[in-house]
């Protein structure tokens, strides 16, 4: 049965099972007790990014794959050697190393696919200069 990755997220558990979850706002509004079991395994999400992210995020448990399906974005990573920006157009991917704070700027409405391990994810506000 086909899935729309924008409205159905996938959780790949450590035991090899795949669980379909409601995507978009329905997922992000789940209470903490519903999110907690998803800390083990990998989450695959897709969404349209039409504007700059309002926060930074960091995943301490694993690297994250950020795959641009269409559009144009810049991923900003705070690496130990300094901040780097990688601009992607049309298609492309960036691997964000575990523990690295990152954010994104959108130059056009963009479709992005994310593969990440959610355990311990942290957020902080993005302050404009």
Global confidence as pTM: 0.90
Where do the H-state alpha helices sit in 1-129?
Answer: 25-28, 32-35
pLDDT value at residue 125: 96
Judge whether residue 5 has pLDDT over 90.
no
**Is residue 100's pLDDT more than 90?**
yes
Q: Work out the mean pLDDT of the chain and round it to a whole number.
A: 93
pLDDT at 35: 87
pLDDT at 93 exceeding the cut of 70: yes
Q: Look at residue 36 and give its three-state secondary structure.
A: helix
State residue 105's pLDDT score. Answer: 97
Instruction: Determine the average pLDDT of the residues in 2-29.
Output: 90
- CATH class of segment(s) 8-125: mainly beta
Residue 128 pLDDT more than 70?
Answer: no
Mean pLDDT of 42-68: 95
């Amino acid at each position: 049965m086909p899935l729309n990755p924008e409205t159905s997220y996938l959780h790949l558990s450590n035991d090899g099972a795949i669980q379909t979850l409601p995507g978009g706002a329905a997922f992000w509004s789940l209470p903490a007790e519903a999110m907690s079991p998803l800390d083990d395994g990998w989450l695959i999400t897709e969404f349209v990014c039409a504007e700059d992210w309002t926060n930074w995020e960091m995943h301490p448990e694993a690297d994250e794959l950020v795959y641009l399906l269409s559009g144009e974005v810049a991923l900003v990573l705070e690496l130990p050697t300094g901040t780097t920006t990688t601009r992607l157009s049309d298609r492309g991917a960036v691997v964000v190393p575990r523990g690295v704070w990152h954010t994104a700027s959108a130059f056009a409405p963009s479709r992005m696919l994310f593969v990440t391990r959610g355990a311990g994810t942290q957020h902080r506000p993005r302050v404009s200069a």
